[in-house]
Structure 1
């Protein structure tokens, strides 16, 4: 009968739906980062950086085969600084190959976000891909955190902030 086969298919489908989140969870745990499943297809972790403690969030959308990956650099923008921050984000996003920064209008939080298409086949998300997603998000947050701070607290224009923060140093002191 076909009924047991459907049950097997449903069980397999349920396992596949959570697979990217399970791989992210394994990666976060391997790094020693505290993490928690916040619902079906969602996980949140806390990762240390040199500038801030970052919240990493993975949200799996099985119907689209998309893993949404977010990193929050612990930067909140007050209403009076939003225009300058929108300009800053435009300049920052020109520097990125993958993902983008945005300002969430409801909360004033800055977030780094990108989506990854994850094949629904047997391969799913690999441990190496989970590492790449996480490390790329953290690297961009670390690279641009000073830019955000220069605009918010240092009184610099967006252009000045990017120039000051992205100076390439030669040699070591």
Structure 2
């Protein structure tokens, strides 16, 4: 957790994310209005990509869980995406048709109000990043059950969403 006294409310959205990544020691690369970071999760290393569209005041955030879907598994993945996405409060998973890459995406509209420049608070950056990572972590096993475990989308969700009680 970051020190809230280091709040970066005065920074532009990409600057705030860059500071957030640096504070966590995550590898990242910045190119103008885009920043890419690499974060190791429990299941995979996630590529996090944020793009700032100043004209629209929208920060688009993408998380790639390093899953590529073969053509013969796309129908099953589309079904599981529909089942997963109806459970999500913000953001959604999607499959890029041209490459078969699976990703999580959401966007934040950041309006400064008045004549000020749009700003992303440190708390906003944390919510944006951590919610994407949490959803990728939560549903990664579902995708693996469908792609490699031979389960139907409904079976995969049921198997992956079982809550364990206690410790082994």
* Both structures adopt the same fold (TM-score exceeding 0.5): yes
Larger Rg: 1
Please give the alpha-carbon distance, in whole angstroms, between the structure 2 residues aligned to 1:21 and 1:146: 31
Does residue 123 of structure 2 align to residue 138 of structure 1?
no
Please give the alpha-carbon distance, in whole angstroms, between the structure 2 residues aligned to 1:130 and 1:106: 30
Partner residue in 1 for 2:20: 27
Please give the alpha-carbon distance, in whole angstroms, between the structure 2 residues aligned to 1:94 and 1:123: 31
- Structure 1 unaligned blocks of 5 or more: 1-17
Could you report, residue by residue, the CA deviation over 1:80-137 in whole angstroms, capped at 9, with x for unpaired residues? 0000000010001011100000000111010100010112335610111111111000
Partner residue in 2 for 1:125: 120
Please give the alpha-carbon distance, in whole angstroms, between the structure 2 residues aligned to 1:155 and 1:122: 50
Partner residue in 2 for 1:80: 72
Deviation at 1:71, TM superposition (A): 0.2
Matched residue of 1:36: which SS? strand
Does residue 89 of structure 2 align to residue 101 of structure 1?
no
- Structure 2 unaligned blocks of 5 or more: 1-10
- What is the TM-score with the length of structure 1 in the denominator? 0.87
Deviation at 1:52, TM superposition (A): 0.2
Please give the alpha-carbon distance, in whole angstroms, between the structure 2 residues aligned to 1:119 and 1:171: 45
More helix by percentage: 1
Deviation at 1:47, TM superposition (A): 0.5
Tell me if structure 1 keeps the 8 A contact 2:57–2:118. no
Matched residue of 2:12: which SS? helix
- What is the TM-score with the length of structure 2 in the denominator? 0.89
Please give the alpha-carbon distance, in whole angstroms, between the structure 2 residues aligned to 1:50 and 1:130: 21
Tell me if structure 1 keeps the 8 A contact 2:50–2:61. yes
Please give the alpha-carbon distance, in whole angstroms, between the structure 2 residues aligned to 1:152 and 1:76: 10
Please give the alpha-carbon distance, in whole angstroms, between the structure 1 residues aligned to 2:20 and 2:161: 30
Deviation at 1:40, TM superposition (A): 2.2
